[in-house]
């Protein structure tokens, strides 16, 4: 019987394994994961800490028994220690096991800060749900936590712990939260919302170390002074977990992540990879990027499954629609905002507009801000930021998709849209932004007098 081994039980690994088995039931599919659980959503963890979701049990979407009943060979709490590509074996618990096809979905690990005190008790990295459940029980007796970093997961943790009533200090070197993602003009409402949730922001502040007593953290040392705390949550960058694949000789790219083609094939025939362990090209620049999301990981696992079972499915370069609630304020976008475009030296024109999420007379209507970036001359869409109230996710998904298909400001300015008082206004905020952008283009810039 042909055997497929999947290393990893996150979004990419579970998609690859379950879809391969469904498409070709005669395969023997084995899943190896270091964790005790499968098919839980790590994405919900910050919201259970914040009591927005009542309990951790709600995050489990299936069980190991269910997967076994579907015919999968589940190897829980089993770390793969070696891949031998010549013999076509992996080793786990000192036992070699042969494969015909291998799917590497080893995901990410958190960047560890290179400062003194990194091994003190009370430093928490959010990933494994069991560790999060233990941490949650400890939070009941804590008063102060420090969050290090201001990426999406760090911001979700900070906002949720503030909501739970803890005093939260957020430390980041950047000038505003989410500065790698967000434009500065959107940072203000995010900052205000986090502060209203009990988060004290220490921006432009460098982490210098962790101080402890009897092996347990007591304070975080920063360039702005020491911050007392009962625990510190580290939410710096996600690093592709490539050690195993690299030792086996699989090729890595410029980002350090594994190289795959659009079918998720690695550099070795019959060996596939998907999820946060790989790099994929950005749709605009075609430059490889990493650190995408669980939804990207799942989609890539599906592509690997289809192709390894004899199908034909390509994974397109990514236009990265993203969205989240930061504090209580909803933000999102796709591809890039102005800050990233400027950092990369990509020329653009801006189209900005503000609309409402429902008919303006309908209770609950919120302002929706849209900023689009377009290529000068062609006015082809290259990025955008959307924020405020309802519909941010749907607009970011839509814009990411139409940008991939080459849409321009002209296409968007006169797009069709739904007007239905409880769910949509007569004037679509995206169309308002595009029309404003076109008007700007038509208005000659005032002559500069010297
Ligand atoms: C707190 C939190 C919030 C998140 N929020 C969102 C969100 O809102 N939206 C979203 O889309 N995504 C979210 N994510 C998902 C995320 O950021 C990742 O993109 C996603 O988890 C990547 O999936 P993956 O399968 O590639 O890797 P991972 O989820 O990292 O899974 C890797 C798997 O590999 C296994 N593994 C690694 N090495 C070995 C080995 N040697 N032997 C055996 N097993 C091994 C691990 O046990 C694990 O099962 C969140 C993640 C976290 C932790």
DSSP for residue 204: T
Q: How far apart are CA 425 and CA 422, in angstroms?
A: 8
Cβ-contact 18, 69 below 8 angstroms: no
Beta-bridged to residue 4, according to DSSP, are: 29, 101
34 lines ligand 1 (CB under 6 A): yes
Cβ-contact 107, 276 below 8 angstroms: yes
**Residue bearing the CA closest to ligand 1, atom 38:** 106
The two beta strands, 271-273 and 101-104, are parallel
Cβ-contact 169, 144 below 8 angstroms: yes
Instruction: Kindly give the distance from the C-alpha atom of residue 224 to the centroid of ligand 1, in angstroms, as a whole number.
Output: 33
List, in order, residues 6 or more apart from 59 with CB less than 8 Å away.
40, 41, 42, 44, 45, 48, 53, 129
295 lines ligand 1 (CB under 6 A): yes
Q: How far apart are CA 288 and CA 325, in angstroms?
A: 27
Q: Which of 7, 8, 111, 247 to mutate to test the pocket of ligand 1 (most atoms within 8 A of CB)?
A: 8
Structure tokens at 214: 């009897």
So what's the pLDDT on residue 448? Answer: 54
So what's the pLDDT on residue 450? Answer: 45
So what's the pLDDT on residue 446? Answer: 55
Orientation of helix 152-163 relative to helix 184-196, angle to 10° = 30
The enclosing H or E element of 269 equals: none
So what's the pLDDT on residue 323? Answer: 97
List, in order, residues 6 or more apart from 4 with CB less than 8 Å away.
17, 20, 27, 28, 29, 30, 99, 100, 101, 102, 103, 308
170 lines ligand 1 (CB under 6 A): no
127 lines ligand 1 (CB under 6 A): yes
The enclosing H or E element of 17 equals: helix 11-23
Mean pLDDT split into 10-residue runs, the chain, 450 residues: 96 98 98 94 97 96 96 98 98 98 98 96 96 97 98 98 98 96 95 97 98 97 98 97 98 98 97 98 98 97 98 98 97 97 97 96 96 97 96 98 98 97 97 97 60
Q: How far apart are CA 21 and CA 2, in angstroms?
A: 11
**Residue bearing the CA closest to ligand 1, atom 11:** 294
Cβ-contact 48, 56 below 8 angstroms: yes
149 lines ligand 1 (CB under 6 A): no
257 lines ligand 1 (CB under 6 A): no
Instruction: Kindly give the distance from the C-alpha atom of residue 145 to the centroid of ligand 1, in angstroms, as a whole number.
Output: 24
List, in order, residues 6 or more apart from 166 with CB less than 8 Å away.
139, 142, 143, 144, 145, 198
Q: Give me the phi and psi of 404, to 5 degrees please.
A: -60, -30
Q: How far apart are CA 27 and CA 75, in angstroms?
A: 16
So what's the pLDDT on residue 1? Answer: 87
Structure tokens at 295: 């939804």
42 lines ligand 1 (CB under 6 A): yes
**Residue bearing the CA closest to ligand 1, atom 37:** 106
Number of other residues whose CB lies within 10 A of the CB of residue 391: 23
Name the nearest CA neighbour of 432 among 334, 348, 355, 332: 355
């Amino acid at each position: 019987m042909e055997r497929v081994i999947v290393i990893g039980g996150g979004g990419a690994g579970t998609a690859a394994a379950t879809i391969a088995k469904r498409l070709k039931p005669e395969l023997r599919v084995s899943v190896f994961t270091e964790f005790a659980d499968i098919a839980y959503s790590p994405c919900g963890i910050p919201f259970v800490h914040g009591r927005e979701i009542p309990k951790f049990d709600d995050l489990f979407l299936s069980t190991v028994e269910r997967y076994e009943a579907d015919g999968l060979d589940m190897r829980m709490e089993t770390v793969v220690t070696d891949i031998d590509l010549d013999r076509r074996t992996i080793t786990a618990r000192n036992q070699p096991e042969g494969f015909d096809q291998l799917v590497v979905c080893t995901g990410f690990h958190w960047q560890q800060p290179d400062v003194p005190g990194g091994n003190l008790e009370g430093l928490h990295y959010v990933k494994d749900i069991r560790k999060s459940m233990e941490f949650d029980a400890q939070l009941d007796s804590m008063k102060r936590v420090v969050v290090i970093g201001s990426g999406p997961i760090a911001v979700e943790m900070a906002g949720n712990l503030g909501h739970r009533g803890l005093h939260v200090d957020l430390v980041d070197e950047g000038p505003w939260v989410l500065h790698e993602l967000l434009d500065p003009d959107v940072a203000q409402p995010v900052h205000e919302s986090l502060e209203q949730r009990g988060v004290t922001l220490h921006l432009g502040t460098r982490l210098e170390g962790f101080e402890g007593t009897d092996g347990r953290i007591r304070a975080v040392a920063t360039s702005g002074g020491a911050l007392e705390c009962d625990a510190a949550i580290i939410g710096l960058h996600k690093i592709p977990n490539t050690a195993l694949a690299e030792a086996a000789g699989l090729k890595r790219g410029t980002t350090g992540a594994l190289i795959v083609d659009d079918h998720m094939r690695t550099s070795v025939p019959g060996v596939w990879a998907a999820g946060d362990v790989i790099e994929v090209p950005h749709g605009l620049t075609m430059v490889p990027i990493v650190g995408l999301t669980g939804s990207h990981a799942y989609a890539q696992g599906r592509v690997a499954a289809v192709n390894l079972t004899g199908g034909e499915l390509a994974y397109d370069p990514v236009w990265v629609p993203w969205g989240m609630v930061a504090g209580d304020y909803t933000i999102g976008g796709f591809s890039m905002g102005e800050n990233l475009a400027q950092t990369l030296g990509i020329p653009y024109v801006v189209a900005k507009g503000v609309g409402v999420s429902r008919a303006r007379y309908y209770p609950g209507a919120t302002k929706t801000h849209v900023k689009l970036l377009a290529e000068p001359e062609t006015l082809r869409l290259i990025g955008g930021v959307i924020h405020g109230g309802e519909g941010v996710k749907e607009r970011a998904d839509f814009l990411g998709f139409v940008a991939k298909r080459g849409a321009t400001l002209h296409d968007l300015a006169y797009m069709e849209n739904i007007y239905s008082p409880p769910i949509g206004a007569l004037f679509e905020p995206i169309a308002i932004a595009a029309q404003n952008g076109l008007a700007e283009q038509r208005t000659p810039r005032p002559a500069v007098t010297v």
